[in-house]
C-alpha cells in the first residue's frame, strides 16, 4: 500500500506491527488514554546497591523492555557497563528502547543481537557497525525508528512499555533525587530521560557522584527511583559535548549560514517575540551568530530558543536577545553548565518539547526551525536516516517534530563530495515535504510551491537566488552525475514512523 | 468491627465504601498500578476562554468529580466564582474533591449540597457552616477525609478520579505554563495542586495575570492544561498568608515552644544534617526561633526543613543553617516570594511530600515533626478534626503523614479555656498513638512508653518535667472537670482515612 508520501509500505508489515500508513502531517485533536507505571512502595528501604551486576540481577528478566538515554553522547560509560552485565548474565529476548544510540554503543548492541539477548530495537537512530549490521539483516524483527516527540507519545500511550530504565546521571542523592546540571559528567538537560523516569516500572540510576540528601534541583525525583548504583565514572566529560564549539570557517558552510539568515530575516516571522530552533554543528553556530547581529541591528528580541542548546544560544539569553531557552538537550559544556544558575533556561522533557498528542508541545509554537538533511528530493521530502549506499547511518532526532515550525528551513550543501544532496527521490522519507518550506544551499534556495506567501516575501531580496527544487536537483546532478540506483532485498529491516506513530517509510536490507 | 485503634467501624460502611479498617502504621512495600488521565491533543487550538461560565459549560457534566486547591487559603476568589457558575448552570450529583476547604468556601458548598449540585465530598478537612451542616447530616453520603499524602495516593491509584480540575494561579501564559511564585496573588508552592494538574482529565487554569509565552519556571506545564480563563482577581493578597508572621508573646505558648525545643535538642536526632517540619502559627514560629539559636550555639546545620513553610524557615535557609527547604506549601508572603529566586527552596508535590505508596516520600526521611492537636488521649491518639461539641471543625492536613517522623512531637496546651486537650479518649482518632512520640504541654511532657529510648534521653534534662500521659490527663481533668459525654446518632456523616486508605475512624451526626 502506498502512503501519503508515495512510499510502498508492505501490508504484512502494517498488519504484523499493527500500524497505519502515514496519511498527512495534521494531528488533529484526538483523545488518548495515557498509561501509567506499576510502582512499588519503598518507604524505609535502602536503594543504593553496590554493583551493576547486582541491580541487573534484581531487575531484569527475559522478554523485558529496557531503556537508556543518550545525553552522554559519545562520552557514555553507562550503556556499555549495563549491557555487558546483561549479556554476561545470559538474558534473552529483550527489547532495547533507548532515546537514541550513539557510536560508542554500536559494537555491544551487535554482540547482544548475535547472542539473542536483544531481539527488538526502537531508537531515534543508529550508525556505524550497528547500522551496518541491521542493514545487512542481522536483527530478525524490524527496528522501529521514532522521533523524540513520537517516542514520548509512544511511551505515554503504552506503545513502548519500559520495564526497566537504566539512567546515567552526573549526580544523585541516596534516595534518587538527581539532575544533569552538576558533576564531572554534567550534560545539562535530562529532557529525553525524564519520560523514562516517569513511565518505567523500575528505575535504576547509575551515578559516580552521591550528593547529600536532599539533592536539588531534582529533575528526577526520589519518588520515581527504585535503585541507585555508584560506579567510578558515568561519562567522559571531553566527549559529552558534540564537538563544534566555534562557528565554521568553511566558506561553503558560511555561505549557507548567511543565506539561512537572509531567509529568516526577510520573512514575516522575523519580528519582536519570534522563536527559533537552530540545532548543533558549526553551521548552526554560524546561523546563530548571524541571527544575533540581525536581532541587534533590527532591535528585535526573541521570545524563546528551543531544542538542543549550544553556548552561543545561552549567550543570546544572557544578552537579553532571547527571553527564554527551552532546553531538552545541551550540545556543549557551556550550555550544560549555565542551566544550574539560570531559571530562564527551562529544562523541558521530550513530551513538552514535541509530543503531538499532548495538550500543546513547544514545537507547535515554533516560528523558525533550521534543520539538516542527508538527502532532499524534489517533493521536499527529507532523509536523515540512510546513506547514499542505503545503509542506516542517521537519526530522526527532533527532525519531524521541529519541521512543524511556521518556517522550516533545510540547510544543506548541493552536493557532498561525489554525492548529490538534492535528488529526484530520497532513499528513505523521514520528514514529509509538506512540512518543509525552504531548502538553502550554497548556490541559492528553493521554496516549497505550497508556500506562495514565502515566495513573495523572499523574491526581491538582493543576493538571494531562488530556484525551483527541480533546478537545484539538476544542478547537483550536473556536478556529480546520476547516481546508480541502490539495490535492496525485499526484507524490511527497519520501519520509520512519523511522529504520530504511522509508517512513513520502511528500510530494506541492502544487497551485497 | 473494631480497628487497630479500637474504633468501631460499622461493617456496612466498610462494605459500601469498599474500605478496610485501619490495621497499623506500617505501609510495607506493595506494588500498585498507577492510573493516568485521558488527554486531548490540543495542537493549534486557542486555550483562552473569556468567562468562567463558558469554561464550566464546556467541561462539566452531571456526576463528575471536580477539584480545586486551597493554596489561596482565606483569600481564595476562584472557588466561589466557579461553584457559583456550576450551581447557576444547574449541574447535579458532583463529587467535590479539593485539596482542602477553607472558610471562604463554606457557605457556597452548603448551598450546593442543598440544591443537589454536590452529593459527595472528599477533603483534608472542613470548618464553620459547612462542618456544622455536615455534622448535622446535610450530606447524604459520608464525607471522606484524607491527609495530603493520602489524597495524592488516592489520585495516583485511581480512588479519586478527577474529571475537571479548576486551579487558580497568580500567573499563566496563554498555553498554560504557570507557577505560584509571581503576581499579585502569589502563594509560592503549588504543591497540592500539582497532583491535580498531572491526573485530571481536563485542567482549567483561572488566572488574573496572563504573562508572555513561554512563562517559566513552569510548575504547571502547558502539556497539562486544556483551558485558561482570565478573571479580574484570583485572590486577596492580604488573606493568602496564614496570619501569624511573628512569634507569639503569649507566655504559655512560649513555654510550650521552649519545651519543644528542649525535647528536640536533647534527643539523639539533634545532630549535623538533621531535618524537621515545624508547621505554622505563632507557636511554631517561636519553635523555629529557639531552634535557630540552638543550632548556632551547637554549630549544627540541618539538611532540610519540610512542609508548610514560613519566612523564619527561609531565614534559616538564607543564613546557611538549613541546606534545603522542601516546600509543598507556603504559609506567608515572605516564604512565597523567596521561592522564585532560590533554587534551594525546592517546590515539591503532595506525592513527593507524603504519599506512602510512592518510591519514598520526604516524610519518610524526616527526623523531627512538630504537630498540633485538638485532643490527645491516653493512648496518644490525636484528634485534629472534631471539636469538643463533636462537630467537624478541622483538617487532617499533613498530620498523619508527618507523624511518621523519627521524633513526632505534639505541642498543645493542657487545657483550652474550659476544655481539656488531654483526654481519656479522643472524639475522633485521626493520627494513631503509635506514631506519636512526645506530647509537650506548658507544665511538662509525656513520652510514649513505646519509646523507652526517648525516656532515657530526656529523663535527666534540667527543667523538663516528664509525666505519664495519664498524669497529664488527670491534671487537665482537675482543672476543667470531667467533660459531659457527647451524644451522637448512629448515622455516619464522615469517614476519616488513615494515609494508606484504611478507615481509622468515622464521625457520626450530632444529636441536637
| CB nearest to B225's CB, from A31, A223, A359 | A359
| pLDDT per position as a tens digit, B324-355 | 999 999 999 899 999 988 889 999 999 999 99
| Residue of chain B whose Cα is closest to the Cα of A305 | B214
| pLDDT per position as a tens digit, A319-371 | 999 999 999 999 998 999 999 888 899 999 999 999 999 999 999 999 999 99
Q: What's the confidence (pLDDT) of residue B264? A: 98
Q: Which helix (H) or strand (E) element contains residue B48?
A: strand B48-49
Q: Residue A336: is it exposed, middle or buried by C-beta count within 10 angstroms (0-12/13-18/19+)?
A: buried
Q: For chain B, how many residues are written?
A: 512
Confidence band (pLDDT; 50, 70, 90) for B453?
A: very high
Classified as helix, coil or strand, B302 is strand
Q: Give chain A positions within 8 Å (CB) of B341.
A: 343
Cα(A509)–Cα(A390) distance, integer angstroms: 8
User: Three cell numbers at A107?
Assistant: 559494537
Q: Which one-letter DSSP state was computed for residue A486?
A: P
Q: What's the confidence (pLDDT) of residue B246? A: 67
Q: What's the confidence (pLDDT) of residue B279? A: 78
| CB nearest to B45's CB, from A29, A43, A343 | A29
Classified as helix, coil or strand, A297 is helix
Strand-strand pairing, A438-440 and B38-40: unpaired
| CB nearest to A357's CB, from B39, B326, B343 | B39
Q: Which one-letter DSSP state was computed for residue A502?
A: -
Strand-strand pairing, B31-33 and A375-377: unpaired
| CB nearest to B212's CB, from A221, A225, A303 | A303
| pLDDT per position as a tens digit, A85-121 | 999 999 999 999 999 999 999 999 999 999 999 999 9
DSSP string over B167-205: EEES-B-TT--B-SSSSTT--S--TTHHHHHHH-SEEEE
Confidence band (pLDDT; 50, 70, 90) for A248?
A: confident
Contact B359 A222 (CB under 8 A): yes
Q: What's the confidence (pLDDT) of residue B244? A: 56
Tally the C-alpha atoms within 13 A of residue B250's C-alpha that lie toward its C-beta: 14
Question: Do the beta carbons of residue B100 and residue B109 sit within 8 Å?
Answer: no
Q: Higher pLDDT residue, A53 or B241? A: A53
Is the pLDDT at A244 greater than 80, yes or no? no
Contact B303 A44 (CB under 8 A): no
Is the pLDDT at B109 greater than 70, yes or no? yes
CATH 3.40.50.300 fits B251-486, yes or no: no
| Residue of chain B whose Cα is closest to the Cα of A227 | B359
Residue with cell 526497566: A164
Q: Give chain A positions within 8 Å (CB) of B176.
A: 359-360
* Nearest chain A CA: its distance from B337 CA (Å): 15
Question: Do the beta carbons of residue A428 and residue A383 sit within 8 Å?
Answer: yes
| Residue of chain B whose Cα is closest to the Cα of A351 | B223
Contact A343 B343 (CB under 8 A): yes
Question: Do the beta carbons of residue A60 and residue A85 sit within 8 Å?
Answer: no
| CB nearest to A351's CB, from B216, B223, B352 | B223
Q: Which residues contact B115 (CB under 8 A, 6 or more apart)?
A: B87
Q: By C-alpha distance, which of B199, B196, B238 is closest to B70?
A: B196
Contact B344 A31 (CB under 8 A): no
ipTM here? 0.96
Largest CA distance in chain A: 71
Domain covering B44-239: architecture = 3-Layer(aba) Sandwich (3.40)
Cα(A191)–Cα(A181) distance, integer angstroms: 12
Contact A31 B39 (CB under 8 A): yes
Contact A213 B37 (CB under 8 A): no
Contact A346 B47 (CB under 8 A): no
Cα(A21)–Cα(A14) distance, integer angstroms: 7
Q: What's the confidence (pLDDT) of residue A247? A: 72
Is the pLDDT at A74 greater than 90, yes or no? yes
Confidence band (pLDDT; 50, 70, 90) for A390?
A: very high
| CB nearest to B32's CB, from A38, A273, A304 | A38
Contact A352 B323 (CB under 8 A): no
Does the CB of A46 have a partner CB in chain B at under 8 Å? no
Q: Which one-letter DSSP state was computed for residue A75?
A: G
Stretch among A471-480, B72-81, B277-286 having the lowest mean pLDDT? B277-286
Contact B223 A304 (CB under 8 A): no
Does the CB of A30 have a partner CB in chain B at under 8 Å? yes
| pLDDT per position as a tens digit, B89-99 | 999 999 999 99
Tell me how crowded residue B139 is: count the other CB atoms within 10 A of its CB. Answer: 21
Contact A39 B28 (CB under 8 A): no
Contact A343 B222 (CB under 8 A): no
Q: How far apart are the first and last CA of chain A?
A: 27
Classified as helix, coil or strand, A359 is coil
Q: Give chain B positions within 8 Å (CB) of A226.
A: 359
User: Looking at chain B from residue 300 to 339, which residues have their Cβ under 8 Å from any Cβ of chain A?
Assistant: 303-304, 323-324, 326
Cα(A318)–Cα(B463) distance, integer angstroms: 58
Q: Where are the domains of chain A?
A: 44-239, 251-486
User: Looking at chain B from residue 420 to 479, which residues have their Cβ under 8 Å from any Cβ of chain A?
Assistant: none
Question: Do the beta carbons of residue A309 and residue A329 sit within 8 Å?
Answer: yes
Contact A214 B44 (CB under 8 A): no
Contact A38 B45 (CB under 8 A): no
| pLDDT per position as a tens digit, A395-437 | 999 999 999 999 999 999 999 999 999 999 999 999 999 999 9
Q: By C-alpha distance, which of B162, B63, B69 is closest to B124?
A: B69
| CB nearest to B31's CB, from A40, A47, A304 | A40
Q: How many helices (H) and strands (E) does chain B have?
A: 16, 28
What percent of chain B has pLDDT above 90?
93
Cα(A410)–Cα(A376) distance, integer angstroms: 9
Cα(B348)–Cα(B396) distance, integer angstroms: 19
User: Three cell numbers at A409?
Assistant: 528551513
Q: Which of B24, B161, B164, B214 best probes binding to A when mutated, by most A CB atoms within 10 angstroms?
A: B214
Q: Which residues contact B387 (CB under 8 A, 6 or more apart)?
A: B374, B393, B394, B427
Cα(B57)–Cα(A69) distance, integer angstroms: 43
Q: What's the confidence (pLDDT) of residue B242? A: 67
Stretch among A76-85, A168-177, B306-315 having the lowest mean pLDDT? B306-315
Cα(A43)–Cα(B60) distance, integer angstroms: 38
Classified as helix, coil or strand, A49 is strand
Q: By C-alpha distance, which of A345, A493, A504, A479 is closest to A415?
A: A479
Extended beta strands in A202-359, E state: 202-207, 227-230, 274-277, 302-309, 322-330, 345-347
Strand-strand pairing, B125-126 and B394-395: antiparallel
Does the CB of B223 have a partner CB in chain A at under 8 Å? yes
Whole-angstrom Cα Rg for chain B:
22
Confidence band (pLDDT; 50, 70, 90) for A242?
A: low
Cα(A225)–Cα(A204) distance, integer angstroms: 6
User: Looking at chain A from residue 353 to 382, which residues have their Cβ under 8 Å from any Cβ of chain B?
Assistant: 355-362, 364-365
Q: Which residues contact B483 (CB under 8 A, 6 or more apart)?
A: B388, B419, B420, B423
Q: Which of B205, B327, B360 best probes binding to A when mutated, by most A CB atoms within 10 angstroms?
A: B360
Contact B351 A40 (CB under 8 A): no
Paired residues of B67 in beta bridges: B165
| pLDDT per position as a tens digit, B118-165 | 999 999 999 999 999 999 999 999 999 999 999 999 999 999 999 999
Q: Which of B161, B216, B342 best probes binding to A when mutated, by most A CB atoms within 10 angstroms?
A: B216
Q: What's the confidence (pLDDT) of residue B83? A: 98
Q: Residue B15: is it exposed, middle or buried by C-beta count within 10 angstroms (0-12/13-18/19+)?
A: exposed
Question: Do the beta carbons of residue B413 and residue B359 sit within 8 Å?
Answer: no
Cα(A303)–Cα(A276) distance, integer angstroms: 9
CB pairs under 8 A between A and B: 179
Q: What share of chain B is helix, strand, coil (3-state, %, to 5)?
A: 30, 25, 45
Q: Which sign, positive or negative, has the C-alpha torsion B312, B318, B322, B323?
A: positive
Q: Which residues contact B246 (CB under 8 A, 6 or more apart)?
A: B282, B285
Classified as helix, coil or strand, B147 is coil
Classified as helix, coil or strand, B327 is strand
Cα(B260)–Cα(B266) distance, integer angstroms: 10
Contact B44 A361 (CB under 8 A): no
**Mean residue pLDDT across chain A:** 96
What percent of chain A has pLDDT above 90?
93
Confidence band (pLDDT; 50, 70, 90) for B280?
A: confident
Amino acid at each position: 500500500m502506498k502512503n501519503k508520501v508515495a512510499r510502498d509500505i508492505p501490508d504484512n508489515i502494517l498488519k504484523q506491527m499493527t500500524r497505519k500508513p502515514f496519511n498527512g502531517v495534521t494531528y488533529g485533536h484526538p483523545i488518548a488514554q495515557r498509561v501509567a507505571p506499576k510502582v512499588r512502595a519503598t518507604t524505609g528501604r535502602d536503594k543504593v546497591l553496590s554493583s551493576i551486576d547486582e541491580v541487573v540481577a534484581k531487575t531484569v528478566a527475559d522478554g523485558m523492555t529496557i531503556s537508556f538515554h543518550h545525553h552522554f553522547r559519545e562520552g557514555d560509560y553507562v550503556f556499555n557497563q549495563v549491557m555487558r552485565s546483561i549479556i554476561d548474565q545470559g538474558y534473552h529476548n529483550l527489547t532495547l528502547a533507548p532515546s537514541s544510540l550513539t557510536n560508542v554503543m554500536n559494537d555491544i548492541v551487535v554482540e547482544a543481537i548475535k547472542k539473542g539477548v536483544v531481539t527488538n530495537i526502537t531508537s531515534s537512530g543508529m550508525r556505524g557497525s550497528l547500522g551496518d549490521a541491521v542493514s545487512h539483516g542481522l536483527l530478525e524483527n524490524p527496528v522501529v525508528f521514532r522521533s523524540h516527540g513520537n517516542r514520548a507519545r509512544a511511551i505515554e500511550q503504552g506503545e513502548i512499555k519500559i520495564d526497566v530504565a537504566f539512567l546515567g546521571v552526573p549526580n544523585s542523592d541516596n534516595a534518587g533525587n538527581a539532575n544533569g546540571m552538576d558533576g564531572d559528567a554534567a550534560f545539562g538537560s535530562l529532557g529525553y530521560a525524564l519520560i523514562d523516569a516517569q513511565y518505567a516500572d523500575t528505575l535504576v540510576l547509575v551515578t559516580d557522584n552521591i550528593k547529600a540528601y536532599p539533592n536539588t534541583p531534582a529533575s528526577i525525583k526520589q519518588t520515581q527511583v527504585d535503585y541507585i548504583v555508584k560506579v567510578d565514572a558515568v561519562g567522559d566529560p571531553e566527549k559529552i559535548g558534540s564537538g563544534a564549539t566555534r562557528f565554521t570557517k568553511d566558506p561553503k558552510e558560511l555561505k549557507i549560514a548567511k543565506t539561512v539568515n537572509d531567509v529568516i530575516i526577510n520573512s514575516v516571522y522575523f519580528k519582536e517575540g519570534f522563536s527559533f530552533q537552530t540545532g548543533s554543528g558549526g553551521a548552526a553556530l554560524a546561523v546563530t551568530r548571524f541571527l544575533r547581529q540581525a536581532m541587534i541591528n533590527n532591535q528585535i528580541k526573541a521570545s524563546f530558543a528551543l531544542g538542543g542548546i549550544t553556548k552561543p544560544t545561552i549567550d543570546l539569553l544572557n544578552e537579553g536577545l532571547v527571553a527564554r531557552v527551552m532546553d531538552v538537550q545541551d550540545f556543549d559544556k557551556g550550555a550544560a553548565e549555565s542551566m544550574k544558575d539560570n531559571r530562564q533556561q527551562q529544562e523541558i522533557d521530550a513530551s513538552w518539547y514535541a509530543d503531538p498528542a499532548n495538550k500543546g508541545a513547544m514545537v507547535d509554537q515554533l516560528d523558525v526551525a533550521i534543520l539538516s538533511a542527508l538527502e532532499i528530493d524534489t517533493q521536499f521530502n527529507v532523509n536523515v536516516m540512510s546513506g547514499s549506499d542505503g545503509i542506516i547511518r542517521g537519526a530522526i532526532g527532533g527532525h519531524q517534530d521541529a519541521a512543524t515550525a511556521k518556517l522550516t528551513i533545510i540547510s544543506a550543501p548541493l552536493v557532498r563530495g561525489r554525492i548529490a544532496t538534492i535528488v529526484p527521490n530520497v532513499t528513505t522519507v523521514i520528514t514529509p515535504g509538506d512540512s518543509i518550506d525552504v531548502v538553502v544551499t550554497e548556490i541559492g534556495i528553493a521554496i516549497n510551491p505550497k508556500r506562495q506567501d514565502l515566495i513573495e516575501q523572499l523574491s526581491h531580496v538582493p543576493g538571494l537566488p531562488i530556484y525551483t527544487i527541480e533546478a537545484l536537483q539538476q544542478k547537483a546532478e550536473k556536478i556529480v552525475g546520476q547516481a546508480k540506483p541502490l539495490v535492496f532485498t525485499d526484507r524490511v529491516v527497519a520501519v520509520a514512523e512519523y511522529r504520530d506513530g504511522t509508517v512513513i517509510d520502511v528500510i530494506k536490507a541492502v544487497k551485497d
